[in-house]
């Protein structure tokens, strides 16, 4: 990385803290993460803290060829019996958790946990009406932590092969589910302690009681787990709606905007949604420049669930079509990954790579909810920070690995083609094939109801207050104008649009 490169992450602006990670590794897809999670929980000495949007004790962390295996709930009972003095604290969003109380297997397991005393399962309702707790964080002995997009829930397990008809992709009720792509980041050291503080704060808000103080320093990094990074500084960014005495936090929104403003060559996104007008307009404004960066987005073909489709798919179509009208609108491409048999793979990951100098992994989607409504947590490694000067090649390898996974080719093929073309779009198009590949998203026009919902952001508000504002105060066009205005005012690297002739 050049010495003149300025950091994008700035504590107090677009991140909460920047802390040292002794080791860090990106984990792709839940098969690898769940197997690792089983080991991390077994190795924890004093505390296991699991915070999530979803949590299902019926799932098997390592399903067999029939999709069965020891349920997570039973595994936790075994851990509690083996070491009764180790805390196992589980905190999940209350709305989704309340639905589980209609499931006898889950209720029975929670009651069994309760009598162990070392397992505490709590629901988090400390948020405004309409918000959700969307963070996915696991902390072990306040030293090692995982932060990303993977919920410990049903219908998430899959391998990086995304095999068609894989019987291991079986929900607790016995039904097969779609191929699923996701990502998270494991970190050890002071940054793990910072994520532990975040978790302790969440627990205290939800339960009115803090977690007990630990005595040991903890060191759970598995000996055979090769880190992607060592001795790097990691930024932690959050979203939190204002509630009770807690102020609003919008670090995640600011980081998205600063990444878009700071990109020189490209941004590679993997994200579940693309419905935030402010982010879309910032991209469109960059694409009005003489030589703008490329924006490549890997997404699901359609949102998962009727309500999500109504909220997100219509807005995505309208925003992508608006961006396409920019002077270099063809430098935005949205792709859908497909299996060997052509089935769409659901992209739940929330990952971004900027110019192979910054990698970001977390829980935040590119929708309004993740900017100001739901609680979110992302971690970022920026090679422009002094401690991270040698991180660029590792970031590039991770980006190559992700694209190779989607195209069904080797990472070396992606590296070679990108070196030849200097273009992510040209690289993907050169390596596209039949079967396992990336296909351009087919922009299906929204129906009248979808159009109305998208225009007025009815199901994707930008803040708790926006849910109760009239149509005159909110909407996709207003979000677009805010993003366009921001980018016009903030061009930190001196880039200007071409002057009108």
Provide the 8-state DSSP code for 309: I
Which H/E stretch holds residue 76?
A: helix 72-82
Fold of 234-489: Endonuclease; Chain A (3.30.870)
Asked if residue 146 lies in contact with residue 49, where contact means CB atoms within 8 angstroms, the answer is: no
Token pair recorded at residue 78:
């075994």
- Whether the pLDDT of residue 461 is over 70: the answer is no
Mean pLDDT of 409-429: 98
Provide the 8-state DSSP code for 360: E
Helix (H), strand (E), coil (C) string for 416-477: HHHHHHCCHHHHHHHHCCCCCEEEECCCCCCCHHHHHHHHHCCCCCCCCHHHHCCHHHCCHH
Q: What is the pLDDT of residues 289-346, one digit of tens each?
A: 999 999 999 999 987 764 555 556 778 888 999 999 999 999 999 999 999 999 999 9
Indicate the pairing of strand 376-382 with strand 358-362.
antiparallel
Nearest alpha-carbon partner for 120 in 34, 217, 203, 214: 203
Q: What is the pLDDT of residues 144-186, one digit of tens each?
A: 999 999 999 999 999 999 999 999 999 998 999 999 999 999 9
Residue in the block written with tokens 């690898």: 32
Per-domain residue ranges for the chain? 17-230, 234-489
Please give the C-alpha separations between residue 254 and each of 292, 430, 459, 480, in angstroms, as whole numbers: 20, 34, 22, 15
Query: What pTM does this model have?
Result: 0.92
Token pair recorded at residue 190:
């002071």
Tell me how far the alpha carbon of residue 430 is from its chain's centroid: 28
Nearest alpha-carbon partner for 76 in 152, 150, 183: 152
Dist. CA 460–CA 204, nearest whole Å: 28
Asked if residue 53 lies in contact with residue 132, where contact means CB atoms within 8 angstroms, the answer is: yes
Token pair recorded at residue 7:
């950091």
What are the backbone angles phi and psi of residue 151, rounded to the nearest 5°? -80, 150
pLDDT of residue 337: 97
- Whether the pLDDT of residue 371 is over 70: the answer is yes
Residue in the block written with tokens 């829930």: 153
How deeply is 25 buried, as exposed, middle or buried, from its count of CB atoms within 10 A (0-12, 13-18, 19+)? Answer: buried
- Whether the pLDDT of residue 391 is over 90: the answer is yes
Mean pLDDT of 98-118: 82
- Whether the pLDDT of residue 453 is over 60: the answer is no
Token pair recorded at residue 425:
């779009």
Dist. CA 119–CA 131, nearest whole Å: 27
* Residue 366 β-bridge partners: 274
Provide the 8-state DSSP code for 115: T
- Whether the pLDDT of residue 110 is over 90: the answer is no
Asked if residue 487 lies in contact with residue 261, where contact means CB atoms within 8 angstroms, the answer is: yes
Length of the chain: 501
Q: Just give the CATH number of 17-230.
A: 3.30.870.10
Please give the C-alpha separations between residue 461 and each of 254, 321, 322, 471, in angstroms, as whole numbers: 17, 21, 20, 11
Provide the 8-state DSSP code for 310: I
Q: What is the pLDDT of residues 206-246, one digit of tens each?
A: 999 999 999 876 677 999 999 999 999 999 999 999 999 99
Dist. CA 90–CA 101, nearest whole Å: 16
Token pair recorded at residue 58:
């019926």
């Amino acid at each position: 990385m050049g010495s003149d490169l300025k950091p994008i992450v700035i504590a107090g602006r677009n991140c909460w803290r920047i802390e040292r990670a002794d080791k860090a590794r990106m984990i792709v897809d839940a098969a690898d993460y769940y197997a690792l999670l089983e080991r991390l929980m077994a190795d924890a000495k004093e505390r296991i803290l699991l915070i999530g949007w979803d949590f299902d004790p019926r799932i098997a962390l390592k399903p067999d060829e029939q999709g069965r295996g020891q349920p997570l709930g039973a595994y936790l009972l075994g851990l509690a019996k083996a070491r009764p003095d180790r805390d196992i604290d589980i905190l999940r969003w209350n709305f989704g958790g309340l639905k589980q109380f209609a499931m006898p297997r889950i209720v029975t397991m929670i009651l069994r946990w309760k009598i162990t005393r070392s397992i505490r399962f709590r629901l988090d309702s400390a948020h405004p009406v309409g918000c959700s707790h969307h963070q996915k964080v696991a902390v072990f002995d306040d030293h090692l932590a995982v932060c990303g997009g993977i919920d410990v829930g049903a219908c998430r397990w899959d391998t990086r092969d995304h095999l068609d008809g894989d019987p291991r992709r079986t929900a607790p009720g016995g039904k097969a589910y779609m191929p699923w792509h996701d990502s998270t980041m494991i970190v050890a050291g002071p940054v793990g302690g910072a994520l532990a503080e975040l978790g302790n704060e969440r627990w205290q808000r939800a339960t009115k009681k803090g977690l007990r103080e630990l005595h040991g320093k903890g060191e759970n990094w598995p000996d055979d787990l090769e880190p992607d990074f060592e001795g790097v500084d990691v930024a932690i960014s959050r979203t939190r709606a204002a509630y009770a005495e807690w102020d609003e936090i919008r670090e995640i929104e600011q980081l998205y905007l600063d990444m878009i403003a700071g990109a020189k060559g490209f941004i590679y996104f993997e994200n579940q949604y693309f419905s935030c007008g402010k982010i879309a307009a910032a991209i469109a404004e960059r694409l009005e420049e003489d030589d703008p960066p490329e924006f490549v987005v890997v997404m699901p073909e359609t949102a998962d669930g009727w309500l999500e489709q109504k909220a997100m798919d219509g807005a995505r179509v309208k925003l992508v079509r608006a961006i396409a009208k920019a002077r270099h609108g063809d430098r935005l491409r949205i792709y859908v990954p497909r299996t060997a048999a052509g089935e769409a793979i659901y992209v739940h990951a929330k990952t971004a790579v900027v110019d192979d100098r910054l990698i970001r992994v977390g829980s935040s989607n590119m929708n309004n909810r993740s900017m100001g409504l739901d609680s979110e947590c992302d971690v970022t490694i920026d090679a422009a920070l002094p401690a991270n000067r040698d991180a660029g090649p590792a970031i590039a390898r991770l980006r190559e690995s992700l694209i190779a996974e989607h195209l069904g080719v080797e990472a070396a093929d992606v590296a070679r083609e990108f070196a030849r073309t200097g273009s992510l779009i040209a690289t993907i198009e050169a390596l596209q094939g039949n079967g396992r590949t990336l296909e351009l998203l087919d922009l299906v026009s929204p129906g009248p109801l979808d159009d109305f919902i998208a225009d007025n952001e009815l199901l994707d508000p930008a803040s708790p207050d926006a849910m109760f504002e009239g149509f005159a105060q909110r909407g996709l066009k207003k979000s677009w104008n805010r993003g366009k205005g921001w980018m016009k005012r903030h061009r930190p690297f001196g880039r200007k649009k071409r002057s009108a002739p």
